Amino acid sequence: MKAFTYQRAGSAEDAARLAAHPGAMLLAGGTTLLDLAKCGVAEPDMLVDIGHISGLDAIAVDAGGATIGALAKMSAVADHAGMRAAFPAVAESLSQAASAQLRNMATIGGNLLQRTRCPYFRDPAAFPACNKRDPGSGCAAIGGVTRNHAVLGTSEACIATYPGDLAVALVAFDAAVRLGGRTIAVEEFFLVPGDTPAREHAIGPGEMITAVAIPASPAARRSTFLKVRDRQSYEFAAASAAVGLELGPDGRTIRDLRVALGGVATVPWRCRAVEDALKGTLLEPESVRAASRLAVEGAVAQADNAHKIDLAPRLVARAILSLGGLA
């Protein structure tokens, strides 16, 4: 790891001022940033530690929803009784991610900003071409080994999968990211690569994530996070689905449905086509399976990842049916 200087920010304003130094990066839990510094992807000259800014780690849940401070630890949110009751998919997305050690270290803000696990991105010494690291240098992944690359939201410049789980649950339930004085929907916060894959999110200069806000809803309360991976634990998703279901008084009519996919797209992927096809209909296995196929509309497979196009809709259908007591 390259040497860097270290500064502690006492406030968000302080952090913004220090982060304006050339080569400066903000540091919270450090689990992503130090990992990337070790593999040579991140080469900061200065780290600005925001971990001592007070008041940014609170978790508040009430009838209107949840507000989670950017510095709350993954483990604190995953284990929070109010979160588990009102937003089970969000809590499960966190408890199924990383390891117990890392969940004690990593923060919610940092979790959202974790970088792709694309092995070409993570190995600059062996693969100099990466449009995400070095715009215009090309993409070593396209035409390479693509088993874990994205099938949705890709471009000719980048096919790297967004690796996180939490953001998938957040996008399903209309959560928003607070950037100090500005609030932006999670759905708009993450940017598909297009021809600028180095730009992954909507944070502007001088801004940082201060909190995440999730509105309460019956669908969020009856929700689940399903994650399929190469091994049962401590692995990134081959595909994941965050799904919430609200049934009408008859217990069979779908009143509200939320569906988002992870592990298959360049950004957390909200599947409104599935939601719209099923809202107002009766919960039936056949129609749920048919509508779930809409989740991968427009998917483009690379040489090794066509299985994700089959896997993702099955996961969506299983999540909906299990929430409805039919699987």
Partner 1 sequence: MSSPRTIRFTLNGEPVSATIMPHETLVDVLQHRFDLRGARESCGQGLCGCCTVHVDGKPVSGCLFLAVFADGARVDTVEGLARGDALDPVQEAFIEAGAFQCGFCTPGFVMMVKQLLKEHPEPTDEEVRHYLTGNLCRCSAYPEILDAVKLASARQAEAARRA
With H, G, I as helix, E, B as strand and everything else as coil, classify residue 312. helix
Q: Radius of gyration of the chain from Cα atoms? A: 20
Residue 300 found at the interface with partner 1 (CB under 8 A): no
Residue among 170, 173, 210 nearest 190 (CA): 170
CB closer to partner 1, 32 vs 305: 32
Contact region for partner 1 (CB under 8 A) — 28-36, 152-160, 200-208, 268-276? 28-36
Near partner 1 by CB under 8 A: residue from 98, 140, 237, 309 = 98
Evaluate whether 46 touches 40 at the Cβ level (below 8 Å). no
Among 14, 17, 35, 144, binds partner 1 (CB under 8 A): 35
Q: Does 81 bind partner 1 (CB under 8 A)?
A: no
Selected binder of partner 1 within 101, 199, 252, 280 (CB under 8 A): 101
**SS3 state of residue 75:** helix
For the bound state, the minimum distance from the C-beta of residue 33 to partner 1, rounded and expressed in Å, comes to: 9
- Distance from C-alpha of 326 to C-alpha of 92, rounded to nearest angstrom: 21
Interface stretch with partner 1, choices 4-12, 133-141, 270-278, 316-324 (CB under 8 A): 4-12
Q: Does 105 bind partner 1 (CB under 8 A)?
A: yes
Closer residue to partner 1, CB minimum distance, 78 or 321:
78
Q: Does residue number 38 form part of the binding site for partner 1 (CB under 8 A)? A: yes
Structure tokens at 269: 């992927």
- Judging by DSSP bridges, how do beta strands 211-215 and 182-185 pair with one another? unpaired
Give 29's DSSP letter: S
CB-based contact 254:247 (threshold 8 Å) = yes
The H or E element spanning position 254 is: strand 254-262
Site for partner 1 (CB under 8 A): which residue of 14, 17, 59, 104?
104
The footprint of partner 1 on this chain (CB under 8 A) covers a number of residues equal to 26
Candidate segments 97-105, 194-202, 240-248, 319-327, binder of partner 1 by CB under 8 A = 97-105
Task: Note whether 10 binds partner 1 by CB under 8 A.
Answer: no
Q: 3-state class of 43 per DSSP? A: coil
Burial of 69 (0-12, 13-18, 19+ CB in 10 A): buried
How would you label 179-188 residue by residue, b for 16+ Cβ within 10 Å and e otherwise?
A: beeeeeebbe
Applying CB under 8 A, which residues contact partner 1? Answer: 1-6, 27, 30-31, 34-35, 37-38, 47, 49, 51, 75, 98-102, 104-105, 233-234
